[in-house]
Amino acid sequence: MPLPHSEIEKLFEALLDAYRDYSKLQIMVRFKLGENLERFAGRGGLETVIFNLIESVEARGKLERLIVGAYEQNPDNPELKKFYETVFKNFKQRKIVDSDVTSKDFGPNIDWRGKTEEIELQRFFKKQPNWYDVGFLQRIIEQAKSVCRVDLPTLNITATGVLIASKYVLTNYHVLTPNDKNNPELNAKNVRLNFVFFSLNDGRETQSKSFFLNSENPIIASSPVAELDYVLLQLEETFTQAFNSDDRTIKPAQWEANISPSEADSINILQHPNGESMSRIRATFKK
Residues of the chain predicted below pLDDT 70: 1-2, 89-133, 201-203, 242-248, 259, 263-266, 275, 284-287
Which pLDDT value is given to residue 122?
A: 46
Which pLDDT value is given to residue 155?
A: 86
Please count the CA atoms within 13 angstroms of the CA of 107 that sit on its side-chain side: 6
Which pLDDT value is given to residue 102?
A: 44
* Per-residue burial over 227-262, b = 16 or more CB atoms within 10 Å of its CB, e = otherwise: eebbbbbbbbeebeebbeeeeeebebbeeeeeeeee
Give the CATH superfamily of 134-284.
Answer: Trypsin-like serine proteases (2.40.10.10)
- Report how far Cα 120 is from the mean position of its chain's Cα atoms: 35
Which pLDDT value is given to residue 118?
A: 47
Which pLDDT value is given to residue 243?
A: 63
| 225 close to 107: Cβ distance less than 8 angstroms | yes
Query: Which residues is 169 bridged to in the sheet?
Result: 163, 233
* Domain ranges across the chain: 5-93, 134-284
pLDDT in tens, 216-254: 999 999 998 889 999 999 999 888 776 665 556 788 888
Q: What's the CA gap between 4 and 262, in Å, rounded?
A: 53
Which pLDDT value is given to residue 246?
A: 57
Q: What's the CA gap between 203 and 92, in Å, rounded?
A: 12
